[in-house]
Structures are given as structure tokens and as C-alpha cells.
Amino acid sequence: MTKRKSTGLSKSLVLKGLQCRKALWLKKNPPDFDLPPRPELEARFAAGNEVGELAQQLFPAGIEVPYAGLPFAAQLARTKQLIENGTKVIYEASFSRGGVFVKVDILVRDEFTNSWQIYEVKMGTSVKEINLDDVASQYHVLTQCGLTISAAYLTHINNRYKRHGELDVQQLFRSEDVTAEVVERQEQLAEQLEQLRNTLRLDDEPTIDIGPWCTAPFECDYIPYCWQHIPNNSIFDLRGRGINKFAYYHQGVVKLEELPIAALNPAQRFQVEATLNKQDTTDLPAIREFVDSLWYPLCHLDFETFDTPIPPFDGVRPYQKVPFQYSLHIQQQAGAEPSHYEYLAAASANFDPRRELAEQLIAEIPAEACVLTYNQAFEKSVLRELAELFPDLADALLLRVDNVRDLMVPFKKRHLYRWQMAGSYSIKAVLPALVPELSYKMVRVLGVLREVAV
Ligand code: SF4
């Protein structure tokens, strides 16, 4: 007897299926293929949970229907009981209808109209199309279950909030009324859900080719599996805009050499010709000019920062980059062995490392030194934010900003280009092409420029 296929859908499966029906099918019928782990998703998931729990404070004294350790049926029964008991606010209320199971982040009873308000919490900073599909699927299931929904809101992070003292959740979050958009989606959503159920009934993998949907709105888990047939040096390795790569792909153009060269802009033409001919470029006068613009002592500076949706300290906005580490290599003269200095914040919760870091940095980087970074915009913005935060250190920090020079420039302008860089000038592309050994990476890259310039 043929086993009947499960067509059950959760909210996340619905969203996966709306992005690509093949991804939904593969989720339920995993391919015999080793997919690489994606640890960043776990970190995002944990951050999302933290944001969701904090947002519950917008409607305090609610009762939660836990997910962990409770079977779906028990979650549904618990929700039903809370509704019947007159509970005003329910966190993670659970509903199922038509084979779709959803949990609502915050469900608020509107006592005057005997209806309910849906609040979906997101850690983003604006309302996105995919969020509207998310809320629409909750609205669909809840109304099918017989609830009247008076309003639906998308609650997201307000990135203009700056923390002062205790977290102010009313300021940290912004709720936008998305009722009209969600209601408008209902008719189409019913059809889409039917398509998704039909997809899950299929015995064989749906024949859906790769497309822009592989990376938007999310990067799909199955890219390594579905993109196996794309060779190295394909049209998808082409940098820059102005080329509809999927339009070419659907015409059978896959390899770089198959692209009509006349359709490319000068930078793309440069990339394609360099790759196909394995051709390097060295603009000696320009490299010499760059090397001569630097002076000693020369400090190679590299910050590490973290950013979180919930500002951890005073004076920090959501997603503001907070420096917690720097690496500094100081050369007293050209070709000299660098001395290494480093700041690493103590790993303790609620410790704001910025003052300590700024003071140590000023003590270690001589006022007159050349400060060499890779992609100066980032290091400059960190230094400027520190200067804004600590007015008494501002002059010293801004002096270091004035002395910043950018090691990325010769590569961005292609004064030195190796065909292995594949049109990129990021440190990740430049390093392996120039100096595969990773120690003193920026010192070594400058060393290569110096050797070329001699
Ligand atoms: S990689 Fe692309 S085609 Fe494959 S399942 Fe994902 S979205 Fe669909």
C-alpha cells in the first residue's frame, strides 16, 4: 500500500514554500546530499527568540503557550482553554486549520468588540513583503478557526531608539498596522496554500530551476544541491550590475566566455578578459604613488565589532556596531618586523568595552603615525563614533581618523590585480591571491605592494 504523504504545513513551511515550492518539497523529502551547516542561522534564531520574549513586555501579564515539550495537540488545547477562560493576552497562541499550524507571537483580546489583535514580532527594522505573508497566514488560520481579528500588527525594532539607562521597550519597538495588506492577501493565500499542499503530494522533486528566488527573501538551504551544475567561472561570478544573469542563463549562457562582451561594462569586461586569459595587471606608477603616500611609524589597524537588535549599553542604538577587539601591527620603518598589540574586551555580561578600548588605542597608536586599514570607511566610522561618545578623547581619536589610509585602494582601482581575484577587491579575494599564509595579513599585503613598487 502506498504511504499517504503528509501535507501538514507550519508557518515557516508556508513561507519556505512561497519562496520556492521545491524548497518546501525538499524540506519534507531531504535529498541524499550533504548540506553544509549554517551556524549563523542558529545565532539568528536565538536572537529572534530574545527579541520575541522582550516584546512580550509590551503587553505584560500574558500567559504563554510553550512550544518546547508540548505536542501540537496540547498547544492547541491549551490555547482553546485560555480563550474560553477570558485570558486577555496570550503569548505563542496556537491554532490549526486546513492542515496549517500557526503560532501567534502576541494575541491581544479586544474586549469592547469581542475580537482579537495579532502582533507578529520581527527583529528587522521595517516591514517586508515576507512579513506580510507571515501575518497573512496567521490571519487566515485564525479566521478559519472562527476568531474575529480586528487588527494585525507587525512589531519590529525601532533603529532610531538610543538606550539611556534601563531598556525602554515602548521605544525599542514600533508596531505598524498591516491589517489592510493582510486582508488583501487572503484570497490569493488560500490558492497558494492549496498549491503548497499539492506540491507535498508529489512523489518526485518538483522541476523548478534556479532563479532569483534562491537568495530572496532568504538564502535557500538547498543552494549547494540545486546549483551543482553551475561551473566555476560562470556568469554568476560576474561582478557589478546591469546584467540580467538569469535571463542569460535561461538562454543557455552559463560560462563567462559565453557572455557577449559588448553587453558588459568596462569593469566587467576587465574581469572576464582577465579570468579567461589568466591575465594579471600591475600599474607600477600608481602603486609607487600609493606606497609613497604612506609614512612611518605605520599602524595596521583592524577592528572587530558586534551588533545586536537589543542595545546592550547606554548610548547604543539597535544594530549599532560596537567595537570589542582590535588588532594592531606597528612597523617603525619599511620592511621592519611589526610589533603586535591587541585589545580584547573581558568576556563579562553588560561590560561596555568602548572606553577602555579607546584609551588603549590612543596610548598605542602614536599621534603622528600613519594608520593603515583595509576598507577605511568601517574603521573611520568606528573611530568617529567613539569620538562622539567620549568628547574628552575626541581630539585624539579624530587625529587618528585624519591619519587613516586605505590599503584597499590599489586593489579597488585595479592598480594591482591578479586574475584569481575574480573581479573582487575584498580582503577575502585579495589575500589568497597574494599571500596565502594568513599571518600579519595586512602587513604582508603591503609588503607585496612594496616589492612590486621597487
Ligand atoms: S536552491 Fe533555489 S531552486 Fe533550489 S530549492 Fe532553493 S530556492 Fe528552490
Instruction: Give the model's pLDDT for residue 452.
Output: 82
Asked if residue 445 is part of any domain, the answer here is no
Do 190 and 243 have their domain in common?
no
Residue-level pLDDT at 162: 96
Residue 119: phi, psi to the nearest 5? -125, 115
Residue nearest to atom 2 of ligand 1 (CA): 214
Q: Is the CB of 326 under 6 A from ligand 1?
A: no
| Best residue among 35, 223, 249 to mutate for probing ligand 1, ranked by most atoms within 8 Å of CB | 223
Residue 319 has phi, psi (to 5 degrees) of 65, 10
Is the same domain home to 26 and 90?
yes
* Residue 23: Cβ within 10 Å count: 23
* 309 preceded by a cis bond (ω within 30 of 0): no
Is 293 in the same domain as 148?
no
Residue 125: inside a domain, yes or no?
yes
Residue-by-residue pLDDT tens, the chain, 454 positions: 556 678 899 999 999 999 999 999 999 999 999 999 898 898 899 999 999 999 999 999 999 999 888 999 999 999 999 999 999 999 999 999 999 999 999 999 998 888 999 999 999 999 999 999 999 999 999 999 999 999 999 999 999 999 999 999 999 999 999 999 999 999 999 999 999 999 999 999 999 999 999 999 999 999 999 999 999 999 999 999 999 999 999 999 999 999 999 999 999 999 999 999 999 999 999 999 999 999 999 999 999 999 999 999 998 999 999 999 999 999 999 989 999 999 999 877 678 999 999 999 999 999 999 999 999 999 999 999 999 999 999 999 999 999 999 999 999 999 999 999 999 999 989 988 888 765 556 777 888 888 888 7
Which atom, in ligand 1's list, is nearest to the CA of 227? 1
Domain C-terminal end among 178, 198, 218: 198
The CATH number linked to 79 is: 3.90.320
Residues 56, 180 within the same domain = yes
172 lines ligand 1 (CB under 6 A): no
Same-domain pairing of 170 and 88? yes
Nearest residue (CA) to ligand 1, atom 1? 223
CA distance 3 to 23: 21
What separation in Å is there between the alpha carbon of 200 and the centre of ligand 1?
15
pLDDT for residue 365: 98
Choose one of 210, 221, 225, 250 to mutate for the ligand 1 pocket test, by most ligand atoms within 8 angstroms of C-beta: 210
Same domain for 269 and 363, yes or no, is no
**Strand duo 100-110 + 115-121: pairing:** antiparallel
380 shares a domain with 342:
yes
Does ligand 1 come within 6 angstroms of the Cβ of 448? no
238 and 164 co-located in one domain: no
Q: How many domains is the chain built from?
A: 3
Closest residue by Cα to residue 234 from 220, 252, 218: 252
Give the pLDDT of residue 435: 82
Q: Give the integer Cα–Cα distance in Å for 92 and 138.
A: 12
- My answer on whether 58 and 85 are in the same domain is yes
From the CA of 425, how far away is ligand 1's center (Å)?
29
Specify the ligand 1 atom closest to the Cα of 211.
2
Question: Does the residue 254 lie in any domain?
Answer: yes
Predicted local distance difference test score (pLDDT) of residue 294? 97
CA distance 216 to 212: 7
Final residue of a domain: which of 212, 242, 277? 277
Q: Are residues 266 and 296 in the same domain?
A: no
221 CA: nearest ligand 1 atom:
6
Nearest CA to ligand 1 atom 7: 214
- Grid coordinates belonging to 100: 496549517
Residue 395: which domain range? 287-409
Pick from 209, 243, 277: which residue ends a domain?
277
Read off the C-alpha cell for 111.
474586549
159 and 28 belong to one structural domain: yes
Are 126 and 47 contained in the same domain?
yes
* CB-CB contact of 271 with 238 (8 Å): yes
Beta bridge partners of 14: none
